[in-house]
Structure 1
Amino acid sequence: MDVHNAILPGNFDEEIYMDLPLGYHIHIEQHEGEKLGNQKGAFTTILVYVNDIIIGGNSQREIDLLKAHLHRKFKIKELGPLKYFLGLEVARSSTGINVCQRKYTLEILRDSGLLGTKPASIPIELNHKLSHTTNEFLQDPTTYSRLIGRLIYLTITRPGITYAVNVLSQFMDRPSQAHLHSAYRILRYLKGSIGQAIFFSSKSSLHLKAYSDSNWAACPKTRRSVTSFCIFIGDSLVSWKSKKQVTISRCSAEVEYGALASTSCEIVLLLGLLKELSIDHAQPAILLCDNQAVIHITKNPIFHERTKVLSRSRI
């Protein structure tokens, strides 16, 4: 749905931010003798971005009643079933929902002049040594910053470029030709997989399963490590992350424990979201890690010099 005149004309001297107050709920009034919004077991979710609205739920009746309520309060244009929203292309079938950003990807390639480029097999070179350099700075860094910003938005449906984009976003203050060349490599990778998408299966079980990993001392300058994880609901990927840790770790086991902690926080957040959507998740979530040191310490929490920090954290 689209709200007319959501952005009123006018000149402002400062930026204005608005947010719903804590505990705010939409009260659907009775209309034409009906008692609305009380269907047992039904829930309705509204996603609002400025003047664009997505409505979802498990009861078509409740959705229709909510739309009628909004129509009485505001001038709203109904655009039908969700197909395109903020660059996201949504396709439905009996097997599930497919979400991609093909049009958005083509726009990035066109604006960068790389529509006819040769595709790359991987988004970033293996064992890269990218860092802040002292020469070959870009005269106009805005082009690089804008490109990285667009790639960050593209990670919504392209988790495969998340790590590469995370690395390149660290150099937006003083980008060089080497950084721009690496950004173009990501575009060449996208050229070979423009239609790749995220698929949410309708036949998958509603069971959270998470995979956690890390890269110890990945940053050559700060020696900070990288946390990475991906979380599935059944067979559908719903959350992923690749980000530098805020502290410097002295061993790989400590790094893995930090990554596991971050992944656990995301699992708790998703469990809370499922509960809010009235989705029962009775079984425990599964968290997997491949670090042998962490696995052995978990099974046998012995104390020695290399695990002193971890032991103190548990105390």
Structure 2
Amino acid sequence: MEELITLAGLPNGKVVDTSLEVYVKYRKEEGDLLFDPFLYCQLVGSFNYLTITRPDISFIVQQVCQFMHAPRYLHLAAIHHIIRYLIGTPDMGLFFLANFSLKFIGYSDAVWAGCMDTRCSITGLCTFLGSALISWRCFLAELGYPQLEPTPLHVDNTSAIQVTANSVFHEWTKHIKVDRHSIRKAYDDRIISLPRHH
């Protein structure tokens, strides 16, 4: 962490409470291009490794990764903001209780056409092992633990749940046919379950 702070040139950086500025939308062509983008790429690469133990910065790291081909000063400011957040939260990380549950739970959310530049949709996923937030899904399988029951996947889209759980394929859903098949297969194979909330 100290090396990251030194690399960014922020040894006495002001501490902030959030990993990204609230209500700020970053765009590809806003502001002046960085004269030398190499430092930006170095810092983003370091963040990618850091998300393994700091999943709380995963979303904003995904955001700044989108600008690596042509970063601008506004994007570098976002990088500095992340570092100031990390300076203020040195003790944060993954915490596993001695007797924690080996049960997976997933939460997903999507923003339709959320990218300001391409109007592509943005999807996020949080995976918990017991009460601990982790950022990988095949961890237990690699350790030799079989999946004994479906992983609950909590989503906020009622239509997505209905399309996945309904074995009847309607004509009006054919535009999502390919993606729907992979999710439906995971549902049918009991890899995931879709808890319903009332």
TM range (shorter): 0.7 to 0.9
TM-score by structure 1 length? 0.51
Whole-angstrom CA distance in 2 between matches of 1:119 and 1:283 = 43
Change (3 A) 1:238 1:134: closer
Pick the aligned partner of 1:185 from 81, 92, 95. Answer: 81
Whether the 8 Å contact between 1:106 and 1:194 is mirrored in structure 2 is no
Structure 2: distance between partners of 1:136 and 1:200: 44
Cα distance in 2 for partners of 1:293, 1:210 equals: 18
Structure 2 residue runs of 5 or longer lacking an equivalent are: 185-198
The reply on whether 1:229 has 2:98 as its aligned counterpart is no
Matching residue of 1:64: none
1:220 to 92, 106, 116: 116
1:170 aligns with 2:66: yes
**Match for 1:119 among 15, 30, 37?**
15
Aligned match for 1:294, one of 155, 160, 163:
160
Residue 51 of structure 1 corresponds to none
CA contact (8 A) 1:124 1:185 kept: yes
Cα distance in 2 for partners of 1:191, 1:310 equals 43
Closer/same/farther in 2, CA of residues 211 and 141 from structure 1, 3 Å limit? same
- State the 1:198 CA deviation: 0.7
Question: 2:5 corresponds to which letter in structure 1?
Answer: L
Q: Contact 2:140 / 2:146 at 8 angstroms: preserved in 1?
A: no
Residue type of the alignment partner of 2:160: V
| RMSD over aligned Cα atoms | 2.6
Distance in 2 (alpha carbons) for counterparts of 1:225 and 1:168: 16
Instruction: Please tell me whether residue 207 in structure 1 is matched to residue 103 in structure 2.
Output: yes
Q: Does 1:146 align with 2:12?
A: no
Give the residue type in structure 2 aligned to 1:290: D
What is the 5 A alignment of 1:88-127? 105-127=1-23
Q: Secondary structure at the match of 1:229?
A: strand
Percent identical among aligned pairs is 35
CA offsets per residue over residues 57-110 of structure 1, 9 Å max, x none?
xxxxxxxxxxxxxxxxxxxxxxxxxxxxxxxxxxxxxxxxxxxxxxxx222123
Tell me the SS of whatever aligns to 2:22: coil
CA distance in 2, matches of 1:150, 1:299: 40
- What CA distance in whole angstroms lies between the structure 1 residues aligned with 2:153 and 2:169? 22
Distance of aligned partners of 1:134 and 1:192 in 2 relative to their CA distance in 1, 3 Å threshold:
closer
C-alpha distance in 2 between matches for 1:296 and 1:151: 37
Matched position secondary structure for 1:147: helix
Q: Which residue of 2 aligns with 1:78?
A: none
* TM-score (norm. length: structure 2): 0.77
For residues 291 and 156 of structure 1, what CA distance do their matches in structure 2 show?
28
Matched, 1:282 2:151: no
Residue pair 1:207, 1:233 contacting (<8 A) in 2 also: yes
The residue type paired with residue 291 of structure 1 is: N
Give the corresponding residue for 1:273: 142
What is the identity, as a one-letter code, of the residue corresponding to 1:148? V
Say whether the 8 Å CA contact 2:55–2:134 is kept in structure 1.
no
Partners in 2 of 1:311 and 1:156 — Cα distance? 33
Secondary structure of the residue aligned to 1:214 is: strand
Question: In the alignment, does 2:137 pair up with 1:309?
Answer: no
Stretches of structure 1 that go unaligned for 5 or more consecutive residues are 1-104, 241-265
Cα 1:113/1:280, change in 2 over 3 Å = same
Quick one: distance in 1 between partners of 2:70 and 2:62?
A: 15
Partner deviation per Cα, 1:169-193 (whole Å, 9 max, x = no partner):
1111211111111111111111210
User: Would you say how many aligned residue pairs link Structure 1 and Structure 2?
Assistant: 180
TM-superposed CA distance for 1:200, in Å, is: 2.1
Q: Which has the higher contact order (CA 8 A, sep 6+)?
A: 2
Deviation at 1:272, TM superposition (A): 3.6
